[in-house]
Amino acid sequence: MTELIPAPRSVVAGSGEVRLTALSQLYAGTATEGVGHWLRTVLCQATGLPLREGWELDDTEGDGIGLQLDLELGPEEYRLVSDPTGVLIEGGSAAGVFWGAQTLRQLLGPDAYRRAPLGRDRTWAVPHVTIQDAPRFGWRGLMLDVARHFMPKDGVLRYLDLMAAHKLNVFHFHLTDDQGWRVEIQRYPKLTETGSWRSRTKFGHRASPLWEEKPHGGYYTQDDIREIVAYAAERHITVVPEIDVPGHSQAAIAAYPELGNTDVIAASMEGAPSLSVWDTWGISPNVLAPTDNTLRFYEGVFEELLDLFPSEFIHVGGDECLKDQWRQSPTAQARIKELGLADEDELQSWFIGHFDKWLTARGRRLIGWDEILEGGLADGAAVSSWRGYQGGIAAARAGHDVVMCPEQQVYLDHRQAPGADEPVPIGYVRTLEDVYRFEPVPPELTSAEAAHVLGAQSNVWTEVMEDPARVDYQTFPRLTAFAEVAWSALPAPAERDFGDFERRMAAHYRRLDALGVAYRPPAGPLPWQRRPGVLGRPIEGPPPNR
Ligand code: ACM
């Protein structure tokens, strides 16, 4: 019971237990019916018990589960009481009740995470306890890059379940990049016909690359996206889509060459500009042309996106936009002059600023990677601070909202240990303990500035993760440590009790086992996980950094 993760604010243990039986009922009060439906589904699957629907809270007397709102509680706050009258979960909103239901699942033991009963007689007991709990941050995010390696829809739904089990509530969906465009845009069919496939994939050491000579690709139809968004919403997760502009756009330019800096590309190719979806890693020099045509095109993309994603925030990327083509392009230079801008950084600001105004006029808010600070931050923009804390600190001091996701601590593509058997060739080592000691609010901020830190996020870039098992390996167990950082009221990093976290992890690994998560075991990779490099081939020499 004290093995709950993320750690709740307060746990007061009693001495008995509530036993769920074939007669137990589940009552869901006003506005918690969706949580009731979810909880009944997962618990019926795991236990085989019918958990009949109770009509009133009294029906749960003794051996049942009751869910209801208590509007005195904060929106994501919950109280779970298990005592001789049964189990009662109350929350300030359906979200709070949902997080309480996740805690109940942990109290029932690891087999509560299975999708069918084990077929043995067993008891399902909830120890008597009173738990009061609320999250530290409202933004507890996880970014998944589905551009570098495509994650089929079922994998995304499973990932959302894993997020929910860890009380994470923002799924940042990195849908486009140089190596693939993954969302259907009906008015621009070539984005997915052409842009969602690359002919081959690079792996191995940067100095001696190897190639997987087969096409890689895939995309989500608009109905797939609607399903993903609805599935997330049932789990109280907001999906924030990212369309990366004006850099990381080669897949879009391959589909619609006029989006690129055609004057520069034509000169370098001595002919008609024609690019392919990128088949290597890094940062493509091929960025969007700063023309009216590009703006109108992407307005069309964002129009369809707004219909699909109800989230307040829309992520426009903005990271790692190489400016060489803009320096070389007569068209881009003429644009800089015409707009009265000082340089290419200001041109990027102008580009992002256009979409800031465009999204604001439609009741949404723009968020971008911290490069959007360069050349001036658009008025309403929020920042994902990834190159360390500095971008986030500057943005918060200027009154902008911030999500802290510094690569030095919460980039889960980075390796988990220095050993030669560690399979992923991203050179930086970020251990489970490093993640556990991540502090989203830097001490430099005043409390007024710190109020702009919406929360924290872990990012999973998939250059070196060619399949869902590899994504599991990189994500877990570190995401569990991250979840505790984002949810629990932990002390300052140096004072955190990592030993206690590891003790609780011993129980949590059993939950991850029941969930079928291919996590990195604490003693190091299992033989089948010890494939060096990606795609099962060896890497020579020291691992490269990104
Ligand atoms: C990033 O890692 N390029 C945001």
Q: What is the per-residue pLDDT across 96-120, written as a single tens digit (0 to 9) for each?
A: 999 999 999 999 999 999 999 998 7
Residues 95 and 159 in one domain: no
Give the pLDDT confidence score for residue 532 in this predicted structure: 58
Last residue of a domain, one of 133, 154, 171: 133
Report which of residues 373 and 541 the model is more confident about.
373
**Percentage with pLDDT > 70 across the chain:** 95
542 is a domain residue = no
- Does the annotation mark 299 as catalytic? no
Looking at residue 418, its pLDDT comes to 81
Q: What is the pairing mode between strands 197-198 and 65-69?
A: unpaired
* From 102-111, 166-175, 207-216, 309-318, the region with the lowest mean pLDDT: 207-216
Q: Check if 166 is active-site.
A: no
Position with higher pLDDT, 150 vs 535: 150
Give pLDDT tens digits for 434-475.
999 999 999 999 999 999 999 999 999 999 888 899 999 999
Q: Looking at ligand 1, which residue's alpha carbon is closest to its atom 3?
A: 319
Q: Is the pLDDT of residue 267 over 90?
A: no
**Which sign does the torsion angle of CA 378, 381, 387, 388 carry?**
positive
Regarding whether 146 and 90 lie in a shared domain, the answer is: no
27 and 153 part of one domain? no
pLDDT of 230 > 80? The answer is yes
| Per-residue pLDDT, 519 | 97
248 or 532: which leads in pLDDT: 248
In CATH, what number is assigned to the domain containing residue 120? 3.30.379.10
Longest dimension (CA), the chain: 81
Mean pLDDT for the stretch of residues 361-388:
93
Higher-confidence residue of 423 and 141: namely 141
> Is 50 exceeded by the pLDDT of residue 78?
yes
What is the pLDDT, as a whole number, of residue 538? 40
Ligand 1: residues with CB < 6 A are 319-320, 369, 386
Choose, from 166, 236, 248, 508, the residue flagged as catalytic. 248
- Cβ(545)–Cβ(429) under 8 Å? no
Mean pLDDT of the chain: 93
The pLDDT of residue 531 is: 66
**DSSP letter (8 states) at residue 319:** -
If asked whether residues 91 and 172 sit together in one domain, one would say no
371 and 397 in a single domain? The answer is yes
Q: What pLDDT sits at residue 421?
A: 81
At 1, is the pLDDT very low, low, confident or very high (cuts 50, 70, 90)?
low
Instruction: Work out how many domains the chain is built from and give that number.
Output: 2
| Residues 6 or more apart in contact with residue 209 via CB below 8 angstroms | 202, 203, 280
Residue 3 lies in a domain: no
Residue range 63-71: mean pLDDT, rounded: 97
126 in a structural domain = yes
Q: What pLDDT is stored for residue 469 in this prediction? A: 92
| 479 shares a domain with 356 | yes
- Alpha carbon distance 300, 509 (integer Å): 45
Position 269 pLDDT exceeds 90: no
Q: Is 177 a catalytic residue?
A: yes
Same domain, 71 and 150: no
Q: What is the pLDDT of residues 489-542, one digit of tens each?
A: 999 999 999 999 999 999 999 999 999 999 999 999 998 888 655 443 444 444
Are 308 and 352 in the same domain? yes
**pLDDT > 90 fraction of the chain, expressed in percent and rounded:** 85
**pLDDT of the residue at 533:** 53
- The residue with greater pLDDT, 177 or 379, is 177
Check which CATH number belongs to the domain holding 452 and give it: 3.20.20.80
Name the closest-CA residue to atom 2, ligand 1: 386
Confidence of residue 486 (pLDDT cuts 50, 70, 90): very high
Let me know whether 250 and 313 are in one domain.
yes
Range of the domain at 207: 139-530
The answer to whether position 429 is within a domain reads: yes
CA 225 to the chain's CA centroid: 15
How far apart are the C-alpha atoms of 383 and 363, rounded to whole Å? 18
Global model pTM greater than 0.85: yes
Of the three residues 133, 167, 190, the one that is the final residue of a domain is 133
Give yes or no: residues 233 and 382 share one domain.
Answer: yes
The domain boundary, picked from 133, 153, 184, lies at 133
546 domain residue, yes or no: no
SS3 200: coil
Q: Is residue 536 part of a domain?
A: no
Instruction: Give yes or no: residues 164 and 308 share one domain.
Output: yes
Exposed, middle or buried by CB within 10 Å (0-12, 13-18, 19+), for 325? buried
Residue 309 lies in a domain: yes
Are 165 and 255 in a shared domain? yes
Q: How far away, in angstroms, is 187 Cα from ligand 1 center?
A: 28
Q: Judge whether residue 147 has pLDDT over 50.
A: yes
Considering only CA atoms, which residue is closest to atom 1 of ligand 1?
319
